[in-house]
Structure 1
Amino acid sequence: MSVWAPKRFWKQSTVTEADGGYGIALDGRPVKTPAKAPLIVPTRALAEALAAEWDAQQDTVRPETMPATRAANAAIDKVRPQRAEVAELIAAYGGTDLLCYRAERPAELIALQAEGWDPLLDWFEGAFGVRLVVTEGVVPVAQPEGLAAVAAHVGGLDEWQLSALHDLVGLTGSLVLGLAVAAGRLTAEDAWTLSRIDEDWQSAQWGADEEAQEHAALRRAALLDAGRFWTLRHTG
């Protein structure tokens, strides 16, 4: 059975000025979110990216090809009404951060993790004043109470920033990596590579699984989209 998809009905998408930022219009008709809220974003660069996604649609609208639009919709419809809860969810990753759980062996993988992750933990300590505890294995380890300051920082972000950071952190499994991208310490591509040290080492030893590679490619693309959304939020 075929799945219904909306058809393209407009000839041109344009950026419009609006109260609180910039909107998108299709042949002069303002675009709204799925929840029927005005689709108004904070920067012209982000609005232009959204307009380009609408312009790129052919006969059928394909939301999966519109990552910036989907992220903007999520920021307005999902994050804005529950911003505190989303910020708390993101900050909670600090308690189980990927970078804190190290291999017990072999020595080569231990060295790769230390080389890639220790400088980021150093940066995190310098930026937020808290040193995360590192352990071997997967048994949970308690983290310092100083993470409350990091949670306060995350809680001060707006819905656009949280929409991007949610994916930057969730897709890497690391609050440290997500915040490093947000701070310009890493690119999203760098964060992806660092988050995959274990998987890439395993693949090098035993060969890659085709299905796992396909899944990883989708996650990498989503992470790069989140990094781009963060950048567009901060580009005038």
Structure 2
Amino acid sequence: MADNDNKKDDDVQPLFGDFVPGQQDSTQNPMMRAKEMMKGPLPKRFYKDVSIDETLGDDGRLSFRVLLDGRPIRSPAKNVISVPKRSIAEALQSEWNAQKTEINPAAMPLTRLINSTIDGVEVARQAMIDEMIAYLHHDFICYPASHPERLVERQKIHWLPVLDWAEEALGGRFVQASGITSIEQSPIMGERLRSLWANLDIFQLAAVHAIMTISGSSLLVFAFWKGFLDDTATWNAAMVDEDWNVEKWGEDDEATKRRAFRLQDYTAAVLVIEAFRTQADLD
């Protein structure tokens, strides 16, 4: 591929596929995605140089492309990968530079996220927002344990401040329940959250949705997005029950790998949100 001098400037073809946000299937599990990607032989690294260029759009905004030997990379749907923030492009550049003799998509979480963002988020926008609002009704931080006492206290430390803050931010009260009891939250809070997220661009929406699916909580990603929690506190709050089970029963190799992949995907989504964050987002 790199030896073909007749290739056009935009002819770096897609190297791997990915899931579309909002499309429910087993490939949304990062471990499953990684296994699928590694079933066949990995493509060889065919490029020497990874660079970034910038272009000024008709709207006066800059966009940034990652170039492999001067040619832009493409998504699985053959869209040129272009992002609106240099920090995201630089992180993409680092991922491509980090590939040695082979290109391993499982080790490129940001590339996977940006691919799926560009190829699928706009058409799935409404479904993704609907899903994030629906999570409010079964958000796990509204279902605390009733025992043992140490777990109950740990959940309170990580979850109650988020609930108290979110109630004030969204103008309502969250119902809490233990066990398998199903609860319905006030639709007013859901509509307030919808109004805040409705106009996110595709990159921010994809990142918010990714953290929600990784953490299992709309409220935790909302708290991170608004700056109430930092990324470490958000992850720790999402892992309370899992950490408790590991402490009690231990962790097998497969679970350790799954968690590592989830953390990779989480870190990529965090990077995107932080690249866009402004003071207005925190107010």
TM-score, normalization by structure 1: 0.90
Within the candidate set 96, 100, 103, 1:61 is matched to: 103
Within the candidate set 26, 40, 46, 1:3 is matched to: 40
- Mapping of 1:122-201 within 5 angstroms? 122-146=164-188, 147-201=190-244
Within the candidate set 65, 82, 92, 2:134 is matched to: 92
Give the distance between the partners of 1:125 and 1:40, measured in 2 at CA: 37
Runs of 5+ in structure 1 lacking a partner?
A: none
Deviation at 1:143, TM superposition (A): 0.5
* Helix, strand or coil at the partner of 1:143: coil
Q: What letter matches 2:97 in structure 1?
A: D
Whether 1:222 and 2:259 are equivalent positions in the alignment is: no
* 8 Å Cα contact 2:113-2:268 kept in structure 1: no
* 8 Å Cα contact 2:109-2:264 kept in structure 1: no
Give the distance between the partners of 2:42 and 2:245, measured in 1 at CA: 40
Q: What letter matches 1:226 in structure 2?
A: A
Q: What letter matches 1:110 in structure 2?
A: V
Deviation at 1:120, TM superposition (A): 0.3
Give the distance between the partners of 2:94 and 2:263, measured in 1 at CA: 22
- Cα shift readout 1:71-122 (whole Å, capped 9, x = no counterpart): 1111110112221221222222111111100112223322222222110011
Aligned positions, number? 234
Query: Percent of counterpart pairs with the same letter?
Result: 35
Structure 1 vs Structure 2 CA RMSD: 2.0
Match of 1:28 in 2: 70
* Helix, strand or coil at the partner of 2:65: strand
- Cα shift readout 1:57-78 (whole Å, capped 9, x = no counterpart): 2221111121111111111101
Q: What letter matches 2:71 in structure 1?
A: R
Match of 2:84 in 1: 42
Match of 1:117 in 2: 159
Deviation at 1:162, TM superposition (A): 1.4
Within the candidate set 17, 23, 39, 2:54 is matched to: 17
- Cα shift readout 1:150-195 (whole Å, capped 9, x = no counterpart): 1222222111011111121111111111111112222222222112
Whether 1:83 and 2:120 are equivalent positions in the alignment is: no
* 8 Å Cα contact 2:88-2:271 kept in structure 1: no
Give the distance between the partners of 2:173 and 2:100, measured in 1 at CA: 50
**The 10-residue stretch of structure 1 (12-21 or 64-73) with the greater mean CA deviation from structure 2:** 12-21
Cα distance change on mapping 1:24 and 1:204 into 2, 3 Å = closer
Within the candidate set 91, 102, 114, 2:144 is matched to: 102
Whether 1:204 and 2:241 are equivalent positions in the alignment is: no
Runs of 5+ in structure 2 lacking a partner?
A: 1-38, 279-283
* 8 Å Cα contact 2:74-2:80 kept in structure 1: yes
* Helix, strand or coil at the partner of 2:187: coil
TM-score, normalization by structure 2: 0.76
Q: What letter matches 1:58 in structure 2?
A: K
